Chains A and B, each alone.
Chain A
Amino acid sequence: MNTPIKDHATASGEFNKDEDYVNWHDETLWFVRSKRDKAVFQIPEWEQLREAGSQIKNHGLSNMHDLLVQFEEKATQNGIKVHWAADGKEHNEIVLSILKKQGVTRMVKSKSMLTEECHLNDFLKEKGIEVIDSDLGERIVQMRNEPPSHIVLPAIHLKKADVGETFHIHLGTEKGATDPQYLTEAARQHLRDTFLTRKVALTGVNFAIAETGGFVVCTNEGNADMGTHLADVHIASMGFEKIIPKAEHLSVFLRLLARSATGQPITTFSSHFHKPREGQEMHIILVDNGRTTQLGRPDFRNSLKCIRCAACMNTCPVYRRSGGFSYHSAVAGPIGSILAPNLDMAKNADLPFASTLCGSCSNVCPVKIDIHDQLYKWRQVLVQDGHVSKVKAVGINSMATVLNSPKFFRTAGKLGRFFMKNAPFLVNNSMNPWYNQREMPEPPKKSFRDWYIREKGL
């Protein structure tokens, strides 16, 4: 991926050129958000459950050191080999060394956003290792040489016809086929062969339990299970923040996760791994890759509570209308926009601005991360550290001048209304970025202040 990265606004502009497509994308994600609402309304104690999820994670972050030490000890007792990786590179090297020791050049992998973050597939490809992603959505985008555009629904940006064409090229399905049943069946056959022939399987981790030294992997397709139970070696990769103190806390998170993600009461499989199968090897790689830094930022550390449900993405008016790729980061959407600047401020300085700060993300977050507050706070940090373009800085400064002077504000408002009414071409032109892809609103006849004085007096 050496193509120059476009900033979020530019990439969104391109995404928005096809109005029908944007509307379809928007509605598809809103449909998922609506399913989430239905599932959530089934649980009267939902808000308390969110609070519980949030507090367990807060507690976990405050005791992270001891929990990890406990986890390592228990997992080791269980016969799992625990590795520590300071960054993505070290993580990838560990995976490679395990593959080399096995003498294999092929691996099957179920969904793991961490490996996307570490660019594991690209790294292994360079070393001559073939990786097949087994989640259907991930397999589709992998065939197309694309990254996932969404952390739960990797191919949400594609239409049936796109998938049909991709499968026609790579799996030899009929040209023009669009029936999801038929296409899924083709992928099932293709991937079954993969599961049966790979000796090493890598999975992500949804939750790791300090108390028992095991971990939980959730899928609907059963792909993580098919891969690992048939492989000689299971590698599980996790950011260290996935740790939770006790097994009983899983009850909270498994109630929250799938309902928030897709509106299901639980995923089809919630698999608990504690020991390798007889004759099997099991490895866990605990990855830092910037997480310790984030843990040290009081304003941003609670982004590490994230359980990767993507509810914030599905609800976000900006994500729905700009698509996952416009975020140029493994994790897109609101949560991605508060995680990415921690990894690289200069490269991701645009992302905290890819938001209306409407707060919907914080309201749906199952572990109560204050996402929109953090987006706002990142903006302060990025401007102070000089990561924001001159144009934006000038704009913000002149805005500050206007908003600081009530008199200036009133005059500016009056002028604005006058010109929008009498000379609309002054604002309705391509020089005004607000005019792109939208009509400017009717100017109100008078300001709120004028109305208030007339109705209520001063």
Chain B
Amino acid sequence: MSSREKILSLIKQNQPEYKELTVQFKFDTVYENNFEKFAEILSFVGGKAIAVNSYEEIKADIQAHYKGVTNIASTVKELADLADFSLNVSDPHELETLNLAIIEGEFGVAENGAIWVSEKQLPHRVLPMITQYLVIIIKKSEIVTNMHRAYERVKVDETGFGTFISGPSKTADIEQSLVIGAHGARGLTVYVIQ
């Protein structure tokens, strides 16, 4: 008997009697202002949310903050002229020298500052992790309250890969001291556009 058959037959034999799932598992969360909550939590997890009215504003802000920075890639067509780095590469290893990636997020989650991005937004799965700094743009109308609402929007298998990103990469593995910039991006700025 193969291990598969062996394991499955043992499970069938040993699993408890079938138990229907009847419990409530979705809950409502109400915030006065989803954006403000999102911004507060994002700042708590080491990121920064900035409310803007236009792509022009975003462009100006990025130019001010990342003055002199090269190796910038953008998947956002409105900000294409900020980019000097083409994402049109076949091998993701070529993204290794990327300093700043500008991408769009599908929506944000107020309770934990997370943003859903999937292969719909990402030409390369590794893009938001391999870049030194990350900028994500979401629409202000696209911030849901909590994770229950989030999963009502996400079809997890719509693409091969998707992730919730909440803040820049971090670690506290050395004596519980928080360090931003473990392996992924060292900084995350989220522009929330009206």
- B160 engages A65 (CB within 8 Å): no
CA distance A154 to B41 in the complex (A): 26
Number of A-B contacts (CB under 8 A): 259
- B157 engages A78 (CB within 8 Å): yes
Is B177 at the interface (CB under 8 A from chain A)? Answer: yes
From 408 to 436 in chain A, residues with beta carbon under 8 angstroms from any chain B beta carbon are none
Residue in contact with A220 in the complex, picked from B148, B154, B182, CB distance below 8 Å: B182
Is A321 at the interface (CB under 8 A from chain B)? Answer: no
Task: Enumerate chain B residues within 8 angstroms of A135, measured Cβ to Cβ.
Answer: 173
CA distance A262 to B24 in the complex (A): 26
Q: Which residue of A lies closest to B47 (CB)?
A: A268
Interface size class of A (residues with CB under 8 A): 35 or more
Task: Enumerate chain B residues within 8 angstroms of A84, measured Cβ to Cβ.
Answer: 2-4, 7
Residue in contact with B183 in the complex, picked from A49, A188, A267, CB distance below 8 Å: A188
Residue in contact with B161 in the complex, picked from A159, A192, A254, A275, CB distance below 8 Å: A275
From 119 to 148 in chain A, residues with beta carbon under 8 angstroms from any chain B beta carbon are 134-137, 140
Is A270 at the interface (CB under 8 A from chain B)? Answer: yes
- A269 engages B11 (CB within 8 Å): no
Task: Enumerate chain A residues within 8 angstroms of B89, measured Cβ to Cβ.
Answer: none
Q: Separation in Å of the A62 CB from the closest CB of chain B?
A: 4
Residue in contact with A52 in the complex, picked from B24, B129, B164, CB distance below 8 Å: B24
Dominant SS among interface residues on chain A: helix
Is A5 at the interface (CB under 8 A from chain B)? Answer: no
Q: Interface-forming stretch among B12-20, B52-60, B64-72, B74-82?
A: B12-20
CA distance A245 to B25 in the complex (A): 13
CA distance A181 to B182 in the complex (A): 9
Say yes or no: A59-B19 contact (C-beta < 8 A), given A230-B92, A265-B41, A269-B163. Answer: yes
- B7 engages A52 (CB within 8 Å): no
Is B50 at the interface (CB under 8 A from chain A)? Answer: no
- A62 engages B19 (CB within 8 Å): yes
- B147 engages A295 (CB within 8 Å): no
Q: Which residue of B lies closest to A209 (CB)?
A: B156
Is A69 at the interface (CB under 8 A from chain B)? Answer: yes
Is A229 at the interface (CB under 8 A from chain B)? Answer: yes
Say yes or no: A52-B25 contact (C-beta < 8 A), given A230-B92, A271-B161, A271-B163. Answer: yes
Is B139 at the interface (CB under 8 A from chain A)? Answer: no
- A275 engages B160 (CB within 8 Å): yes
B44, B159, B177 — most chain A CB neighbours (10 Å)? B177
From 232 to 268 in chain A, residues with beta carbon under 8 angstroms from any chain B beta carbon are 240, 245, 247-252, 254-255, 262, 264-268
From 99 to 143 in chain B, residues with beta carbon under 8 angstroms from any chain A beta carbon are 109, 111-114, 124-126, 129-130
Known A213-B157, A265-B41, A266-B164; further 5 A-B contacts with Cβ < 8 A: A55-B21, A56-B21, A184-B173, A251-B25, A275-B157
- CB-defined A-B contacts under 8 Å, sample of 18: A58-B19, A61-B16, A64-B11, A68-B8, A135-B173, A188-B181, A192-B183, A196-B93, A229-B129, A247-B157, A248-B25, A252-B147, A265-B114, A268-B184, A269-B164, A273-B161, A298-B16, A301-B16
B interface with A by C-beta (< 8 Å): 2-4, 6-8, 10-27, 41, 44-45, 92-93, 96, 109, 111-114, 124-126, 129-130, 146-148, 150-152, 154, 156-157, 159-177, 179, 181-185
A interface with B by C-beta (< 8 Å): 28, 31-32, 42, 45, 48-49, 51-52, 55-56, 58-59, 61-65, 68-69, 78, 84-86, 90, 134-137, 140, 153-156, 158-160, 163, 180-181, 183-185, 188, 191-192, 195-196, 209, 212-214, 220-223, 225-226, 229-230, 240, 245, 247-252, 254-255, 262, 264-277, 286, 288, 292-293, 295-296, 298, 301
